[in-house]
Structure 1
Amino acid sequence: MRPSEMLKDSCSLEWQAATNHVFCQELTLGSLSLDKMRIYLAQDYTFIDNFVRLAASAIHHAPTLADRLPLAAFLGIIAGPENTYFQRSFDSLNVSKEEQETPSLLAPTAGFQALMLKAAQSGSYANMVAVLTVAEWVYLSWTQNTDRIDSPLPFYFQEWINLHEGEYFESVVEHLRTQLDRAYDAADGAEKATIADYFKQAVTLEKQFFDACYDI
């Protein structure tokens, strides 16, 4: 079994709760309330800054150029089309500038922000790719798990789904999983435990983030 699959299985309850969450189901069906979507987008947008820091640190610590380039290309998507998506959605959903720029952080949002910074500052490539893998693999999984409808969705639902599915995004997740597999295999016992802890914390926070956005 691949180490990334083993790590996922080690927190299977949290993984299933995150990737089959009612929030994700309602988003893909277009039935999610716009108030919940506004909260979700404003909170999620705060991740971009620290995600860029974490990804940049991982790129710096990656073993070879071949390991760096796919993540560098994906970082361009985050800084380009994904950032543009947020701005268009904020305009369409009438999210205030204050909520865009300085929202009151939900506890899981603050927790994930702290985890990303901790991984970035750890100096360990394995810790970094553990958090990055969860962040992207959870989203690929929920787009694959959720039901769909035939009628068109508003762009702020549909384009968010589109950003997290398809061959290109699958290749990003596969690259991250491969990097995690290799780093885990090369780690000693103590390092493996630390990698597993980062992975589980990230999965738990993803689930808690959906809970918090949905429950408000």
Structure 2
Amino acid sequence: MAEATLFEALTASCREDWRAYVEHGFVRGLADGSLPEARFRHYLAQDYRFLLHYSRAWSLAVVKSDQLDDLRQSAALVDLLLNHEIALHVEFCRGWGLDEAALAATPEAPANRLYTRYVMDRGLAGDLLDLLVALAPCGLGYAEVGRRLLADPATRLEGNPYRAWIELYGGREFQEGAAAMAEQLDRVAGRRGLLRPWPSSPRWPSLAETFATAVRLEVGFWDMGLAPGVLEAEGA
């Protein structure tokens, strides 16, 4: 049996928080199509703001990298985010009645601000590994959500307004990108002296706490999408 990756060990260390994230009520609403559309629009607008800060965090990963392969991988992701993914997100949002001007004018929700600033703080205060661990719940978590939803026979695809979202995160391109992130996480951990079993490392408690905090902040991001007042604010 293959030894656990660092990502697998980290998720195992906060299993209940991780389950609350990937099996959140917001995710269940996407799976069966029952999520109110006003709540999804609210989420999309906040996700636009999140992507801007996510790009900044990966730019910091370039600064924190000291090996050519990490420089290239982080820089390639920054290019993908800024020059492709954000444009695709804007186009996707347009189909939900949100143009770029509306997205740019959206006030940043406290849950969004708390999460993105935490990730930046961990990156600024620590090294590349600290930053990658703080970033992992986003990219790798969404990959797990998409993969689970596509594989689950209970997921409604036909007639589901959120089918495109599910297929995006469960699709081959996003899954391959997530796999590359997991590989980078292991590679950087090894270069910084972490060895399997991962919890035996002196750095493990700090890394596990960073990861668990970021996971809880992801839960808060979903909670934001279901927060009372979203429907009323949009007149739904």
Q: Same fold (TM over 0.5)?
A: yes
Judging changes above 3 Å, is the alpha-carbon distance between structure 1 residues 159 and 122 closer, same or farther for their aligned structure 2 residues? farther
2: distance between equivalents of 1:143 and 1:120? Answer: 27
Pairs within 5 Å for 1:11-90? 11-90=14-93
Q: Does 1:149 align with 2:161?
A: no
1: distance between equivalents of 2:31 and 2:83? Answer: 23
Deviations 1:90-129 (A, max 9, x none): 3333337675224343332121121122133225100111
Q: Does 1:124 align with 2:136?
A: no
2: distance between equivalents of 1:28 and 1:80? Answer: 29
1: distance between equivalents of 2:85 and 2:9? Answer: 30
Greater helix share, 1 or 2?
1
Paired position in structure 1 for 2:203: 191
TM-score between both structures, scaled by the size of structure 2: 0.78
Aligned partner of 1:58: which letter?
A
Size of the alignment, in residue pairs?
214
Give the match's secondary structure for 1:197. helix
Q: Which of these two proteins has the greater Rg computed from alpha carbons?
A: 2
2: distance between equivalents of 1:98 and 1:5? Answer: 39
Give the match's secondary structure for 1:105. coil
1: distance between equivalents of 2:176 and 2:96? Answer: 31
User: Higher RCO, 1 or 2 (CA under 8 Å, sep at least 6)?
Assistant: 1
Aligned residues with identical type, % of pairs: 22
Aligned partner of 2:155: which letter?
R
Paired position in structure 1 for 2:214: 202
Root-mean-square deviation (CA, aligned residues, Å) is: 2.5
Deviates more, 1:196-205 or 1:161-170: 161-170
Give unpaired runs (5+ residues) of structure 2.
Answer: 195-200, 229-236
Judging changes above 3 Å, is the alpha-carbon distance between structure 1 residues 98 and 150 closer, same or farther for their aligned structure 2 residues? closer
TM-score between both structures, scaled by the size of structure 1: 0.85
Give unpaired runs (5+ residues) of structure 1.
Answer: none
